[in-house]
Amino acid sequence: MDWINATIQGTLLGGLYALFAAGLSLIFGIMRLVNIAHGDLIVLSAYLALTVTMAIGVHPFLALVFVVPAMAVLGYALQRTVLNRTMGDDLLPPLLVTFGFSVIIQNALQIGYTADPQKLKAGAIETASLSIGPITVGVLPLLVFIAAIVVIGALQWMFYKTALGRAFRATSDLQDIAQLMGLNRAHVFGLAMGLSLAVTALAGVFLGIRTSFDPAAGGSRLIFGFEAVIIGGLGNIWGTLAGGVILGVAQTLGAKLNPGFQVLAGHIVFLLILAVRPRGLFPRMD
């Protein structure tokens, strides 16, 4: 029964990892940009939410009303002013520039907020739980998991059923030809990054409620997000959810064996899947 419990907790944890990964997967899918600063942007979102909750004394969930649009605007601006200049056939320049962002964000957060760990206080929901038979699940992890499904479902719908999604797919297929259709690539990429960071804002707030965070916490979130994307298969957004769940379950089962194995178990499962299925479990993209 303990093992079933651990699997369920791991599945719920996977929801958070899928949220880390969704924005990463989106921008890689649309513009082949690997955003090394993604984890730091998640942490930045958590700090933004912290500032909002402290400044006007609202619940972290309410702070989302501010943090999500703020991160979306930041994403659009970053893409239009800096990242679009790095885009081309070569994957390396955007990689280096986003690595630079990562360093800048970490150090700026350190100056602004010190290195002390912080936490978003969400009140009673943090410890609330539901009992289903012998299994007890936390309300918060369940909420995060449901949010992940909703976000990924919404992204999927946006991608395949809306004019914006059509523009994303067309630009991803053939940038020049999409431009001929009146889609300005610079603007489309800006929208993609804006959307990615909007999802990141949600991930950051959930992260901040679930655990404590500090300016250096971004790196491991980036790794978990990457692993979820790769396990799921590039270009498949539901695969990203599956990847997050597999990673979450691996970590919780690993922690059950030995608390020190938590992160290691996730990496080992990731490497095993990479060895057996180098393109991930459900690849959609070459």
Partner 1 sequence: MSETILSISGLDAGYGDFQALYRVDLSVNAGEVVAVIGANGAGKTTLMRSVSGLIKTAPETVVWQNQGIGALRADQIAAKGIALVPEGRQLFKSLSVEENLIIGGQLGRKGPWNLRRIYDLFPILEERRDVPATSLSGGQQQMVAIGRALMSNPDLLLMDEISLGLAPVIIKSIYDALPGIVGEGLAAIVVEQDIAKALSVSSRVYCLQEGRVSLTGASHDISREAISRAYFGV
For the bound state, the minimum distance from the C-beta of residue 159 to partner 1, rounded and expressed in Å, comes to 9
Please list the residues that pair with 137 across neighbouring strands. Answer: 130
For the bound state, the minimum distance from the C-beta of residue 135 to partner 1, rounded and expressed in Å, comes to 41
Closer of 152 and 178 to partner 1 (Cβ): 178
Helices 262-276, 218-232: inter-axial angle, 10-degree rounding: 30
The interface with partner 1 within residues 116-155 (CB under 8 A) comprises: none
3-state secondary structure of 104: helix
Closer of 183 and 223 to partner 1 (Cβ): 183
Phi first, then psi, for residue 48 (nearest 5°) are -60, -45
For the bound state, the minimum distance from the C-beta of residue 228 to partner 1, rounded and expressed in Å, comes to 22
Q: How many residues bind partner 1 (CB under 8 A)?
A: 17
For the bound state, the minimum distance from the C-beta of residue 172 to partner 1, rounded and expressed in Å, comes to 7
Please list the residues that pair with 142 across neighbouring strands. Answer: none
For the bound state, the minimum distance from the C-beta of residue 93 to partner 1, rounded and expressed in Å, comes to 18
Closer of 177 and 257 to partner 1 (Cβ): 177
What Å distances lie between residue 34 and 6, 39, 102, 198, CA to CA?
A: 32, 12, 12, 17
* Residue 117 buriedness (CB in 10 A; 0-12 / 13-18 / 19+): exposed
* Nearest residue to 24 (alpha-carbon basis) of 98, 119, 86, 109: 98
The interface with partner 1 within residues 179-218 (CB under 8 A) comprises: 179-184
Closer of 30 and 231 to partner 1 (Cβ): 30
**Largest Cα–Cα distance of the chain, in whole Å?**
60
Closer of 116 and 176 to partner 1 (Cβ): 176
* Nearest residue to 94 (alpha-carbon basis) of 36, 150, 168, 140: 36
The interface with partner 1 within residues 155-184 (CB under 8 A) comprises: 163, 166-167, 169-170, 172-174, 176-184
Closer of 174 and 271 to partner 1 (Cβ): 174
Q: Which residues bind partner 1 (CB under 8 A)?
A: 163, 166-167, 169-170, 172-174, 176-184
